[in-house]
Structure 1
Amino acid sequence: MPAGRPASTPTTAAPPSSAAPTRTAPNPTATAVPPPAPVVVLRPGDSGPKVRALQARLRQLRWLEGDVDNDYGARTTTAVRGFQAKRGFDATGVLDERTWDKLVAMTHAPTTDELANVRPTPVQPKPGALSWDVDERCLKGRVMCVSKTTRQLTWVVDGVPQYGFDVRFGSDELPTREGVFSVYKKQVDVISNLYHTPMPYSMFFSGGQAVHYSSNFARLGYAGASHGCVNVRNKPLLIQLYNEVRVGDKVVVHW
């Protein structure tokens, strides 16, 4: 019987290997969408009443000296640039919406006199009223005018004294600083980090020095002294002042 051919051995196909997940390579040519350009309100070269109003607001914060006019020239550009740099904005000198909104929040709408460069004349107190001791630097804008001679704080708005009250200052070792400042922070409940004493209704104007209520002053009067702050003992009137004063308002401490 002839020998038959050997039977072929069936082969088993290898299972397909698991395909690795496909990853999309980053596109080196793709670029991020740039943020929208700031909306410009006014720019150098512009003119008109809007420029005058801008200048008046800058002058309220002492970023602009001299009279206001209608021209957005080098003087206005420098003032806008300085205001922007102080607030951490791009100091372009161009008035954009962000800069304008911040400026409006820190100032009041210019008065007719401010726009016309009319210098305010302070009024005299009525007979029998508290006599005002107002330095000439207190005659523009909104000012807490503090006299070391009369130991008096006078709240002055556009050259017109509104009301005033007694204040107390620091000692010779811890004097209250003199000069022109502005309120940079307000806080109702404050405890001094250095002296651990309460400083309610604080309006800070120079480092840690502030105008604030002092129960010690109310109790002891001028037998004591502050640690450099301007102490007030008339609490109801101070609360009224605290509610009226804005961040950015001027503080003048003088003899």
Structure 2
Amino acid sequence: MRTTVRGGSLAALLALVAVSGCRAQVVDAHGTPTPARTTAGSTRAPDDAKEGTGSPAPGSASPEPEPDPAVSTTPPPRVLWSRGDRGRDVREIQARLRQAAWLFEGPTGTYDIATAAAVRGFQGKRGLARTGEVDAVTWRRLLSMTREPTRWELYAFGGQPATRPDPRCMTGRVMCVSKTSRTLRWMVDGRTVSVMEVRFGSQYTPTREGVFSVAFKSRHHVSTIYHTSMPYAMFFSGGQAVHYSADFAARGYAGASHGCVNVRDEAKVAALFAQVRTGDKVVVSW
């Protein structure tokens, strides 16, 4: 029921509302209704303007969307080395991976399939992204777990650069052997024809140093003392010879000879054997 009061007193109106329990609509002397007021005297807000409903007030800023915690905004670490890279730095990576027992080949100085697989294994074990690439985070972790490789760890399977030839190698036909760089240069009149990696005897069976000459050659020689094969043997000091070693080819510098100069590359020593003559000079030096 709607009750309309015209010209009555406010007290009469309030009394009427209290009795009837109905919503009162007040009209002025001209019959125009005026909004009902709350007990605090303010105009009651329409239902759709209550908090949490309706549109924001004009000119107010829209709330910023909450970030998705599943989406990372951190950029990936910078890649330092990856497949196809070559050089001394790659040798160090490979040597350190060998120290950590993740790589059993090389070092070769070439970032190949085996190196990438070793890096992935190393990364996965430590909760890093398994990219197979050495990024800044992977490199720091590898450094913290390993030590600086020695020169011969870097060249455990050869590839080391040859040192300058001994002055005694600069004339004639010479097999110029350097213990410092573990290389053999085949030189003719001061010109280097070929270079190959070699290894020597242990401290108990050392390779003798000095100037010698080739006494004789034996293509399919077998040691009468150790009963081991010595292909392409070129003897220069008693039972010591330059020859191919299958053990050197398989194990690298993990082993040693019984005093001979072992060559690991069979094709190179075969070519050398074909060129060297009896009487050619042999220089073994540090």
Tell me the TM-score normalized by structure 2: 0.44
Higher RCO (CA-CA < 8 Å; seq separation 6+): 1
Tell me the TM-score normalized by structure 1: 0.49
